[in-house]
Amino acid sequence: MKAARACLWLHILSTVASLVGAFDPITTSIMFGIGAALSRTIYNYLHESCDHKWIAFNSTGLEEDLRNKLFGQHLASHIISKAVSGFMNNDNPKKPLVLSLHGWTGTGKNFASALIAENIYKEGMDSQFVHVFTAELHFPHVGQMDTYKTQLQQWIKGNVSSCAHSMFIFDEMDKMHPGLIDSIKPYLDYYEKIDGVSYRKAIFIFLSNAGGESIVETALDFWKAGKSREEIELKDLETPLALSVFNNKRSGLWHTSLIDKNLVDFFVPFLPLEYKHVLQCALAAMQAQGAKPDAGVADKVAQDMLYFPKAERVFSVKGCKTIESKWEYYT
Ligand SMILES: *[C@@H]1O[C@H](CO)[C@@H](O)[C@H](O)[C@H]1NC(C)=O
Ligand SMILES: *[C@@H]1O[C@H](CO)[C@@H](O)[C@H](O)[C@H]1NC(C)=O
């Protein structure tokens, strides 16, 4: 993609250059004027900028991606699709969109965030307007929390100032220092502007394992009752999820204050994945890496994952995590 663009760029430049050489001085300077304007246009075409050429929400694309690529998450798919579409199609949102994604490791929280990014930004997760923060990577030392707070506030302010449609993803939210979360709270709120900057078009996505156990319990209850997982509704999870998030000491602090102030617009539960979903992940991984999807290999990969409860082997302990790098060992 980038190489193709660079090629086009060179081609246009050399065409302009050869045209310029063929004319008298006046025409040449006119040509240069046009050339300069053209360069600016081309620059904008080649370099990601904060405009509709680079940031254009594709609602159908997101819906299809969630349906076809995010396996086993009927609730998350539905909520994310509705939430993001509603927000992006609103010209005048009253606050930034704040999603809180919950569930066990490997259930697709990062993947779902990437699908959102890909259907808003042409460059997807590589976009300069998408920012990912990880507690352990960006804010590792508790002693430097004050520095981190100032830095994070400046980053958010700086990035939203230069592009209102910025997206911030906070991974491992449960490992994030509560003080750090407090420092970003003002940006999630209903303010029209803070120091002259409006944050209302930004998107914040929090990823965490908080509440994961209660989601698993509910899913297991449904399975034991012989009901299909697609019968699980949000109301079956909302109360246990909220309760366990409140009661979890480590994650409770940040969530309590965010919930109290209604700053989180949507809680999105990710269900534990079953054998058949791991199978789908393996097949998709093969296809994504240019191999022919092989059901036999996928089955071996899925069979070798750990499942719980031990006797029934219903849910994959690590969801679809590590599948991408694993399947090749089984070919
Ligand atoms: C939106 O996504 C759909 C489905 O992936 C795709 O067919 C369509 O071309 C996309 N539209 C734009 C404008 O990119
Ligand atoms: C935007 O955020 C990134 C971190 O993702 C940071 O490095 C950069 O300095 C920020 N830009 C501005 C203008 O603040």
What is the tens place of the pLDDT at every residue in 18-52? Answer: 655 566 667 767 777 777 777 777 777 788 999 99
- Report how far residue 28's alpha carbon sits from residue 81's, in angstroms, rounded to the nearest whole number: 53
Is residue 102 a contact partner of residue 140, using CB atoms and an 8 Å limit? no
Residue with tokens 């090629």: 7
Q: Which tens digits make up the pLDDT trace of 215-267?
A: 999 999 999 999 999 999 988 887 766 666 655 555 545 556 676 677 889 98
Phi, psi of 26, deg, nearest 5: -65, -50
| Ligand 2 pocket member 161 (CB < 6 A) | no
- Report how far residue 160's alpha carbon sits from residue 201's, in angstroms, rounded to the nearest whole number: 9
Q: How far is CA 290 from CA 8, 115, 132, 281, in A?
A: 27, 20, 27, 14
Is residue 142 a contact partner of residue 252, using CB atoms and an 8 Å limit? no
- Report how far residue 254's alpha carbon sits from residue 241's, in angstroms, rounded to the nearest whole number: 15
Three-state DSSP at 163 gives coil
pLDDT at 1 (0 to 100): 47
Share of the chain above pLDDT 90, in %: 63
| Ligand 2 pocket member 308 (CB < 6 A) | no
* Other CB atoms within 10 A of residue 120 CB: 23
| Ligand 2 pocket member 138 (CB < 6 A) | no
Region 180-207 average pLDDT:
92
| Ligand 2 pocket member 166 (CB < 6 A) | no
Q: Select from 58, 67, 119, 122 the residue to mutate for testing ligand 1; criterion: most ligand atoms less than 8 Å from CB.
A: 58
136 pLDDT more than 50 = yes
- CA 283 from chain centre, in angstroms, equals 22
pLDDT at 5 (0 to 100): 59
Share of the chain above pLDDT 70, in %: 86
| CA-CA-CA-CA dihedral for 94, 99, 210, 284, to nearest 10 | 180
116 pLDDT more than 90 = yes
Is residue 320 a contact partner of residue 273, using CB atoms and an 8 Å limit? yes
Smallest CA separation from ligand 2 atom 7, residue:
155
Is residue 277 a contact partner of residue 110, using CB atoms and an 8 Å limit? no
Residue with tokens 């849910």: 315
Specify the pTM: 0.86
Tell me which architecture the domain covering 59-269 has in CATH.
3-Layer(aba) Sandwich (3.40)
Note the ligand closest to the C-alpha atom of 61.
Answer: 1
Domain boundaries, the chain: 2-46, 59-269, 275-330
Phi, psi of 95, deg, nearest 5: -160, 165
Query: How many whole angstroms from 213 Cα to the centroid of ligand 2?
Result: 35
Residue with tokens 């004050």: 146
328 pLDDT more than 60 = yes
- Report how far residue 189's alpha carbon sits from residue 234's, in angstroms, rounded to the nearest whole number: 24
CB hemisphere CA count around 317 (13 angstroms): 10
| Ligand 2 pocket member 137 (CB < 6 A) | no
Nearest atom within ligand 1 for CA of residue 61: 2
Q: Which tens digits make up the pLDDT trace of 250-309?
A: 554 555 667 667 788 998 999 999 999 999 999 999 999 999 999 999 999 999 999 999
pLDDT at 249 (0 to 100): 53
